[in-house]
Amino acid sequence: MVQVLGVTCVVIALLLELGSYWKQIAKTLRTKKSKDVSTSAYLLKVVKYAFTMVALVIYANWVGFLMEVVSLAACLVALAIVARYKPKNWRLL
């Protein structure tokens, strides 16, 4: 019973994480503008995921590691789409 609850929580957490990125991607694709989206926030998230993944490997938390891998992939996709619709002469960092 506890394992089912744990798996349910992991799935819900992943869906919420992916949903937040999907919302930003959908808005950017719909408006074709991303001037008000902070790409530096996405870069900070990428670095955060990297550090979290190292810690999770050290503690052999493979479920958490997999969750962070999925979140990192979603973050990178969102960052790429947001960067694509930035104004002319914009650069990352």
For the stretch 4-45, pLDDT in tens is 999 999 999 999 999 999 999 999 999 998 988 889 999 999
pTM value is: 0.89
Q: Smallest Cα–Cα separation from 10: which of 76, 70, 77, 52?
A: 70
Per-residue pLDDT at 93 exceeds 70 = no
Q: pLDDT band at residue 1, thresholds of 50, 70 and 90?
A: confident
29 in Cβ contact with 62 (< 8 Å): no
Per-residue pLDDT at 91 exceeds 70 = yes
Domains and CATH numbers, the chain: 2-84 (1.20.1280)
Per-residue pLDDT at 89 exceeds 90 = no
Amino acid in the structure at residue 45: K
Could you tell me the two tokens for 33? 């503008």
Could you tell me the two tokens for 66? 């997999």
